[in-house]
A and B are shown apart, each in its own frame.
Chain A
Amino acid sequence: MPERVPTVSQLTAELAAADLGAEGALALAPQSATRPRPARRALGVLFWVSAAWLGLMVLLAVLAPVLPLKAPNFQDYSVVNRGPSIHHLLGTDDLGRDLVSRIIFGSRPSLIIGFASISIGLVVGGVMGLLAGFRGGVVDGAFNAVSFVILAFPALLAIIVIEEFWGRSLLKLVILFAFVATPQLFRVMRATTLSFANREFVVAARALGATTRRILLRELLPNVIPAALSFALIGVALAIVLEGSLAYLGLSIKLPTPSLGNIINEGVNNNNLSTNPYIALWPSVYIFLLLTTLNLMSDRLRSWFDVREGRL
């Protein structure tokens, strides 16, 4: 299988090991995605600003019901499609509902769907991927085949049928999204694990008599997590946007309950894109900010962790 084949760099590393011996080879083990830093540094201002912003987003979402926000479903026909003003900081939609409130309340199901489904996918798919990549053999074959079947099956059909049969609710949407995300994360983890599984440091650890558990946790996991996180991060954004596509088909959170996806959808329909682009704009800005903060934080975290790994 192609994924089992070591990379060119590993070849070089093996050659080097032959010259330098095992210890020397360990010294050359490539692990970081950034240049090794001479000393540990603080996480940096940018990181903490991002973390604060993320914290604020989450806090607003969690505390929404007790915050002094206007009711998200309250329709005031005298202020339909207004732009930002003192009374409505982000403006109103085509039914006169306050956009600040709708977006904060709308972030609740979207954040849950995004984070929960990807987390489940990361944990379930990740563990399976790690095991499959490391163990190989029947386990790998079986997991691989199952993931392939799930991936090949038109998700659309499954989602429509399941929602029609089972009803729509936030929990069901999370499960459906997790189901779609898991095989993808499985494959990512598996591929990354494979590329590390045959590296000299793992071989060395095995030779030293380390248990499988120790190898998985101490050697492989720290190297595999960065790639997985990178994928997962985009996955969160994709999930939130995908929820919007489902709203387009009328299969997402039931109206009038807002979600970022169905607000964007309402912002595109009924000529709203021309008459009141704010409806579609603000949720998109929200998603963009979420994505950027997550990325900044994960990048910073990754380089911060790598410093540790770089040491011998």
Chain B
Amino acid sequence: MARYVVTRLVQLLIISFIISVLTFLLVHLLPGDPSVAILGPNDTPQARKELFAQLGLNKGLLQQYATWISNVFRGNLGQSFLTHQTVTNALSVAFPIDLELIVVSQVIALLLAIPLALASALRPNRLFDRSATTSTFALLSVPPFVAGPILVLIFAVGLKALPATGFVRLSGGLGPNLKSALLPSIVLAIGSIVVYYRLLRADLISTLQEDFVTMARSKGLSTPYILLRHALRPSSFSLLASAGLAIGSLFTGAFVVEAIFAMPGIGYQLVQAIYSNDYLMVQGMALVAAIAFVVVNFVADLALTFLDPRVRRA
């Protein structure tokens, strides 16, 4: 067990390192440089030279990378070239937003997908199954930038029950916090619901064919009991695996939702930073997002080993 954890931690380090190099290179491949965003129309060659020296951009790429990475190890992710806000500060604003949106959206998705899948797997290809499949597909056909404004129109503008934009921190009260996270989480949940439902349904159907289920039925156990106690657990492996992937990628993938709801999460801030060649901000955010992804999948894998009794024996 310990060996397993250590192996994965080493993997985390290696992957983070590779990501840091890739991000650094990609960002410097962007055409242009921060000088236009900072100097605007007064971007004379002289001014640019001075700015570059000031920002440390006149050194070679390798040296810039070395400086950056050694600062990262010391906990200094640098600051925005434009606003001078520290990357750490920006992350302290962004991370809680993404964390909460992810948690709430996946809870919503699972709360809907699991019962749907259970009900569908019981009677595959019958009416309920078909309508559930059709409705989830209908959901999938609606992109987040359509679903978002529609939900806002109904719940915020129409019913005035939820805010249209803005994230309220937990310090502002649990109620306002959850209210501000609800609509964007629903939008994010849409894609996940379909994936989880389909996966779980497929796994459940095949599990329900297994002999041990027939055996349980022959023993006279009730259907709900079989479903929940015997079938759900072994069927959730691919669910867990794909949840790890989905959650991890939501850290940057939520940018459309963040833009619509005016929430400065990692995705949104990353895009802003890319558009202004704000190198350190891009590098810092991308690195943290990648590490978050790896950690989440690590946790998912750990959960898998706990769910599966064989590993504990080994």
Contact B270 A2 (CB under 8 A): no
In angstroms, Cα B307 to Cα A5, docked, is 11
What number of A-B contacts does a CB cutoff of 8 Å give? 180
Interface string of A281-304 (1 = CB under 8 A from B): 000110110011001000100000
In angstroms, Cα B249 to Cα A151, docked, is 8
Q: A157-B274, A264-B143, A265-B145 are in contact. Are A152 and B210 (CB under 8 A)?
A: no
How many whole Å from A6's CB to the nearest CB in chain B? 7
Which residues of chain A are near B31, meaning CB under 8 Å?
164-165
In angstroms, Cα B191 to Cα A244, docked, is 14
In angstroms, Cα B174 to Cα A304, docked, is 52
In angstroms, Cα B310 to Cα A85, docked, is 64
Beta-carbon nearest neighbor of B297 in chain A: A148
Q: A2-B311, A30-B209, A149-B15 are in contact. Are A154 and B141 (CB under 8 A)?
A: no
B106-143 CB contacts (< 8 Å) to partner A: 124-125, 133-134, 137-138, 140-143
A33 at the interface (CB under 8 A from B): yes
Contact B146 A249 (CB under 8 A): no
Which residues of chain A are near B194, meaning CB under 8 Å?
234
Which residues of chain A are near B297, meaning CB under 8 Å?
148
Contact A153 B137 (CB under 8 A): no
Contact B249 A155 (CB under 8 A): yes
- The one of B15, B206, B241, B248 that contacts A145, using a Cβ cutoff of 8 Å: B15
For the residues of B in contact with A, the DSSP-based class is: helix
Q: A12-B212, A156-B255, A295-B137 are in contact. Are A264 and B26 (CB under 8 A)?
A: no
Which residues of chain A are near B233, meaning CB under 8 Å?
8
Contact B19 A149 (CB under 8 A): yes
In angstroms, Cα B209 to Cα A192, docked, is 17
Of B82-90, B176-184, B287-295, the one contacting chain A is B287-295
A28 at the interface (CB under 8 A from B): yes
Which residues of chain B are near A192, meaning CB under 8 Å?
238
Name, among A9, A30, A227, the residue most crowded by chain B CB atoms within 10 Å (CB to CB): A9
- The one of A9, A145, A156, A238 that contacts B212, using a Cβ cutoff of 8 Å: A9
A132 at the interface (CB under 8 A from B): no
Beta-carbon nearest neighbor of A289 in chain B: B141
Beta-carbon nearest neighbor of A180 in chain B: B249
Contact A268 B309 (CB under 8 A): no
A237 at the interface (CB under 8 A from B): yes
Beta-carbon nearest neighbor of A290 in chain B: B141
Contact A152 B293 (CB under 8 A): yes
Beta-carbon nearest neighbor of B304 in chain A: A2
Beta-carbon nearest neighbor of B256 in chain A: A245
A170 at the interface (CB under 8 A from B): no
How many whole Å from A136's CB to the nearest CB in chain B? 15
Contact B252 A154 (CB under 8 A): yes
Contact B245 A287 (CB under 8 A): no
Which residues of chain B are near A7, meaning CB under 8 Å?
234, 237, 308
In angstroms, Cα B259 to Cα A22, docked, is 59
In angstroms, Cα B22 to Cα A148, docked, is 14
Which residues of chain A are near B309, meaning CB under 8 Å?
8
Contact B256 A248 (CB under 8 A): yes
How many whole Å from B17's CB to the nearest CB in chain A? 10
Interface size on A, residues (CB 8 A): 64
A280 at the interface (CB under 8 A from B): yes
B44 at the interface (CB under 8 A from A): no
- The one of A9, A16, A33, A273 that contacts B234, using a Cβ cutoff of 8 Å: A9
A108 at the interface (CB under 8 A from B): no
In angstroms, Cα B290 to Cα A244, docked, is 24
Interface string of A169-200 (1 = CB under 8 A from B): 00000000000000010011001100100000
How many whole Å from B68's CB to the nearest CB in chain A? 16
Beta-carbon nearest neighbor of B211 in chain A: A12
Contact A34 B270 (CB under 8 A): no
How many whole Å from A199's CB to the nearest CB in chain B? 12
- The one of B124, B149, B245, B289 that contacts A34, using a Cβ cutoff of 8 Å: B124
- The one of A154, A238, A244 that contacts B140, using a Cβ cutoff of 8 Å: A238
- The one of B141, B153, B212, B253 that contacts A284, using a Cβ cutoff of 8 Å: B141
Contact B290 A152 (CB under 8 A): yes
In angstroms, Cα B124 to Cα A33, docked, is 10
In angstroms, Cα B137 to Cα A158, docked, is 29
Interface string of B144-157 (1 = CB under 8 A from A): 11100110010000
How many whole Å from B89's CB to the nearest CB in chain A? 20
How many whole Å from B236's CB to the nearest CB in chain A? 11
Which residues of chain B are near A164, meaning CB under 8 Å?
30-31
Which residues of chain B are near A6, meaning CB under 8 Å?
310
Contact A157 B26 (CB under 8 A): yes
Contact B206 A30 (CB under 8 A): yes
Interface string of B178-221 (1 = CB under 8 A from A): 00000000000001001100110010011101111000000000
Q: A5-B308, A12-B211 are in contact. Are A33 and B142 (CB under 8 A)?
A: no
B58 at the interface (CB under 8 A from A): no
Which residues of chain A are near B164, meaning CB under 8 Å?
none
Q: A151-B245, A157-B27 are in contact. Are A2 and B138 (CB under 8 A)?
A: no
Interface string of B269-292 (1 = CB under 8 A from A): 011001000000010001001100
In addition to A154-B23, A241-B143, A244-B145, 14 A-B residue pairs with Cβ atoms within 8 Å of each other are A7-B237, A13-B211, A33-B206, A35-B209, A151-B249, A155-B249, A156-B252, A157-B270, A187-B245, A191-B241, A248-B256, A264-B145, A268-B146, A268-B149
User: 26 A–B contact pairs at CB < 8 A?
Assistant: A2-B304, A8-B212, A8-B234, A9-B234, A30-B210, A33-B209, A34-B124, A35-B209, A145-B15, A148-B15, A152-B19, A153-B19, A155-B249, A155-B253, A156-B271, A157-B270, A160-B271, A161-B27, A165-B30, A237-B140, A238-B140, A245-B145, A280-B146, A284-B143, A285-B141, A292-B134
